[in-house]
Chains A and B, each alone.
Chain A
């Protein structure tokens, strides 16, 4: 039962997220510029609710008083507990990347009218079925 419907596409616009619970696991589903990514809502550093953190960019500067520039704007998630920065698209932590990586899950967008049998609807399933047929569902796939 690896696949779960967690939201409609329209429910998570670009730059937004939805935190869902699937099989007892809290998971954050993010829309980054139209692409969807899902991360375990536990910071691998100290267990904080990572997916509730600020979505930002990777801020850079060469010196105090110099220009601040941002890379990967909208793709960096900062844990609300200690501020550790993670790449939303890969779950990769910027600090200590070898040993610190949060769990990420495969996400796909399935057409609303083409749900294969066997999909496990997530918590939002009931409502979405009531939405019009043009809507698409966000589906999170958990490892088998």
Chain B
């Protein structure tokens, strides 16, 4: 294949219905799903009626044909981020079986039918040992380039309980993709339950920042120096101020976490990449240009359509970049990150 010129790092492939997984479930859990009121994970990150969930001419649950016709129209390679939140299933064994089932479904119905697609391994991340086993199951499959973790979790991902997941990702040279959404049973804001969808939807950027702080400060990148993390669908304009604040406070609080041996922003620049959507563009393009410069965006950003979700047109971003910078963000950064 010739050099890809456009890699879309966020395309959604969502399960139409729990019944779709029946062929992939072991006998006991198949019977359980049929006989109980269980209807699958109860996360609903993209409510079907919300205008943000689907753009014109798309559905919130696109099938392969729609993805081929729409999302892959301009992209040479598309990375699938299946938002099936098995983490909200409290029975860890059922969650693990659902993860295996949906990964089988991703292989059979997406990867084997469309060579331009890559996929993300769905894992029961609330059960890190089982999650690591699921990563080991698919680590040798060339179609999987990433492990997807919802940004909302029971504990911040820097917590040592998640180390088996990161160890498995490094073992198989997979990216950890931390993605918008999740339903761990905790509120989607740090201060409790909101009342409206916009609070949860726009406020998710706070949780991304919490995860970045945790990964850096709890020493994940010291324990796993080869780990690469993609922050997907979390925005990026918050990054410069977070870098400044973390660097500033680290100078005085270094002794509190001595394993953090570099400035926090250095870990962020080395280990993190961020998708460009949602683009929290300020009204004045000059201000966006400043943000891009402040965080060194040309080396950090990944092109993503987030198909089928509706976002601002990225033309304002492209217009601010040189041809070389556009090339990095459109393909080169993703090519390096995902070893494409």
Contacts and interface: CB of A to CB of B under 8 A. Distances in A.
B160 interface: yes
A83 B254 CA distance: 8
Contacts of A94: 254
A82 B219 CA distance: 22
A59 B260 CA distance: 11
Interface in B247-266: 250-255, 257-259
Contacts of B251: 45, 82-84, 95-96
A133 interface: no
A85 interface: yes
A83 B160 CA distance: 27
Contacts of B252: 79, 82-84
Contacts of B222: 62-63
B219 A63 contact: yes
Nearest to B217: A64
B255 A62 contact: no
A61 B259 CA distance: 5
Interface residues of A, number: 21
Given A83-B253, A95-B251, A65 B160 contact: yes
B215 to A, nearest CB: 12
A68 B254 CA distance: 13
A47 to B, nearest CB: 14
Interface string B157-185: 00010000000000000000000000000
A66 B253 contact: no
Interface in B197-241: 218-219, 222-223
B223 A59 contact: no
A60 interface: yes
Given A63-B219, A63-B223, A64-B218, A85 B259 contact: no
Contacts of A56: 255
A68 to B, nearest CB: 7
A25 B257 CA distance: 34
B160 A64 contact: yes
Range class of the B interface residue count: 10 to 19
A79 B254 CA distance: 13
Contacts of A59: 255, 258
Contacts of A82: 251-252
B230 to A, nearest CB: 24
Contacts of A17: none
A4 interface: no
Interface in B130-162: 160
A79 to B, nearest CB: 8
A78 interface: yes
Interface string A40-57: 000001000000000010
Interface string B287-321: 00000000000000000000000000000000000
A94 B252 CA distance: 10
A6 B258 CA distance: 36
Contacts of A84: 251-252
A95 B223 CA distance: 22
A63 B255 contact: no
A102 to B, nearest CB: 14
Interface string A61-92: 11111101000000000110011110000000
Contacts of B250: 95
B320 to A, nearest CB: 31
Given A63-B219, A63-B223, A85 B258 contact: no
10 contacts: A62-B222, A63-B222, A64-B218, A64-B219, A66-B259, A78-B255, A83-B255, A85-B255, A95-B251, A96-B251
**Closest A-B pairs by Cβ, 7 of them:** A83-B252, A82-B252, A95-B251, A61-B258, A59-B255, A60-B258, A59-B258
Interface of B: 160, 218-219, 222-223, 250-255, 257-259
Given A59-B255, A82-B251, 20 more contacts: A58-B255, A59-B258, A60-B258, A61-B258, A62-B259, A63-B219, A63-B223, A64-B160, A64-B219, A64-B257, A64-B259, A82-B252, A83-B251, A83-B253, A83-B254, A83-B255, A85-B255, A94-B254, A95-B251, A96-B251
